[in-house]
Amino acid sequence: MAEVKLLATWPSPFYYRVVWALKSKGIAYEFIEEDLANKSPLLLQYNPVHKKIPVLIHGGKPICESMIILEYIEEIWPKNSLLPNDPYEKAVARFWIKFADDKSPEIWRVFRSVGEEQEKAAKDSLEMLKTIEEHALGEKKFFGGDKIGMVGIAFGQLAQWLQVIEDVTGVKLLEASEFPRLQRWINNFKQVPVINENLPDYDQMFAFFKGRRQMLLASK
Amino acid sequence: MAAKEEVKLLGFWVSPFVLRVEWALKIKGVKYEYIEEDIFNKSTLLTELNPVHKKVPVLVHDGKAIGESFVILEYVDETWKQNPLLPQDPYQRAMARFWAKFAEEKIFEGAWTALCSQGEQKQKALQQTREAMEKIEEQLQGKQQFFGGESIGYLDIILGWISHYLTVWEEVGSMEIIDPAKFPATMAWINRFLKHPVIQGTLPPREKMLVYFHQRSKELGSTSHGWLRV
């Protein structure tokens, strides 16, 4: 069995996407912590194009970009599958995965900005949440089914990181009363054992992101 | 062979995203009905079939609708197995998907931003696009035919817009992104791509494109954000 290593940084939500996928399939891996303020030769060698984490290294070969890593994991280790078998259902899943990747950065714009820019980012974030609430979730327990899959993992940032962003910035985005389906999904998602056992500690995350925001504001 | 399989494609004559799907279907020999959509006057059909984005392309197969060109390409590849678009090996597939995402984010977005903006923003976008194209040039060096090998594959389809749209955008935007002397591998790939029988006859007329993008870049240049791509 070729060796699996994961080059990443706590508390990146992209790192956790890969962790959840690996753990749900019972794949053993070695975690290598990267210091993004002081990028290692390893990172520069394995992700020369973006110099970002996470990077999955399987048998010495690097794969970059979290959702591309997840598709790779799914193909190499099909057990406990994270994507539907049916090609149409799979296409629907990939549609929402792309939506998650394209739109989730809005919540980070709320985190990084102030004033008018933050207001715009908050507006865009709310539109994203509305779309998920109205079109993506349906009545099932998780996106598309009774167990978590790649779509849920793709939206995982909303399950904990969103709350940290709200608490650090004071900008409330997800009111449970306005987004009942999304709130229910978050509660269900966080109770799934593989997620529950692999979430960053909330207080530590809050302290970390509070510090980051202070640094960002000071530099403006 | 499956019984009656209806394939429809909702498109817009100048959309490079729609072209991707047409090329994929043609490579696979899949018959489809093309439905032209006026994206500035969206039909109820479009808003019903793609309620989330209300955009083209939308592929409708046996009554079920799929949006987003990247997603449609993967669906087409999985549903019709002849002439595979993505490599068979999982690592090579990951590489193809990586470069497709890279090209979309850095080259397509960069070139489009450069087209629709001015001054410092334009220069920054041009710089990003050129640097990204250099990485594609590296990937193409040593390739005999296409990214997909002997035949056109997924990455060729994703990047194919460059062969026909880039010089139009360069002309409309009074800018140079690819200096032919500095991108020999890319130029050779472009020439092979344009000569390929599947591609011939699919490209929108250049003169019409010049008029269209001239107008669009002026309209979009006067707003500050929220650009509709194409």
| Dist. CA A211–CA A205, nearest whole Å | 10
Distance of alpha carbon A6 from the chain centroid: 15
CA–CA distance from A72 to each of A26, A53, B152 (Å)? 15, 16, 22
Three-class secondary structure assignment of A67-133: HHHHHHHHHHCCCCCCCCCCHHHHHHHHHHHHHHHHHCHHHHHHHHCCHHHHHHHHHHHHHHHHHHH
| Dist. CA A131–CA A8, nearest whole Å | 30
Q: Which of A21-25, B146-150, B208-212 has the lowest mean pLDDT?
A: B146-150
Q: Which of A68, A69, A91 sits opposite B71 (nearest CB)?
A: A91
Q: How many CB atoms within 10 Å of residue A190?
A: 13
Shortest Cα–Cα distance, B53 to chain A (Å): 10
Split at pLDDT 50, 70, 90, the class of B143 is confident
Contact A88 B68 (CB under 8 A): no
B177-189: pLDDT as tens digits: 999 999 999 999 9
This model of the complex carries an ipTM of 0.95
Percentage of chain B with pLDDT > 90? Answer: 90
Question: pLDDT at position B221, please?
Answer: 78
Q: Do A137 and A185 meet the contact criterion of CB atoms below 8 Å apart?
A: yes
Question: pLDDT at position B179, please?
Answer: 95
- CB contacts under 8 A, B 35-54 vs A, are 51-52
A144-197: pLDDT as tens digits: 888 999 999 999 999 999 999 999 999 999 999 999 999 999 999 999 999 999
Question: pLDDT at position B35, please?
Answer: 97
| Dist. CA B230–CA B213, nearest whole Å | 8
| Dist. CA A120–CA B98, nearest whole Å | 30
Kindly state the average pLDDT of the residues B206-228. 81
B26-71: pLDDT as tens digits: 999 999 999 999 999 999 999 999 999 999 999 999 999 999 999 9
Q: Do B68 and B21 meet the contact criterion of CB atoms below 8 Å apart?
A: no
Q: How many CB atoms within 10 Å of residue B46?
A: 23
- φ/ψ of A4, rounded to 5, equals -115, 125
| Dist. CA A210–CA B29, nearest whole Å | 56
| Dist. CA A105–CA A107, nearest whole Å | 5
Split at pLDDT 50, 70, 90, the class of B3 is very low
Residue B121 in 3-state DSSP?
A: helix
| Dist. CA B33–CA B6, nearest whole Å | 8
Residue B223 has pLDDT above 70, yes or no: no
Chain B residues with CB inside 8 Å of A64's CB? 98
Q: Which of A69, A98, A120 sits opposite B70 (nearest CB)?
A: A98
| Dist. CA B37–CA B59, nearest whole Å | 13
- Could you tell me which chain A residue has the CA closest to the CA of B103? A49
Radius of gyration for chain B, computed over Cα atoms and rounded to the nearest angstrom: 18
Contact A75 B90 (CB under 8 A): yes
Q: Do A206 and A162 meet the contact criterion of CB atoms below 8 Å apart?
A: no
Q: Say how many CA atoms lie within 13 Å of A16 toward its Cβ.
A: 23
Paired with A32 in beta bridges are: A7
**CA dihedral sign, ordered A120, A37, A100, A211:** negative
**pTM across the whole model:** 0.95
| Dist. CA B62–CA A76, nearest whole Å | 31
Q: Is the peptide bond before B57 cis (omega within 30 degrees of 0)?
A: yes
| Dist. CA B159–CA B176, nearest whole Å | 18
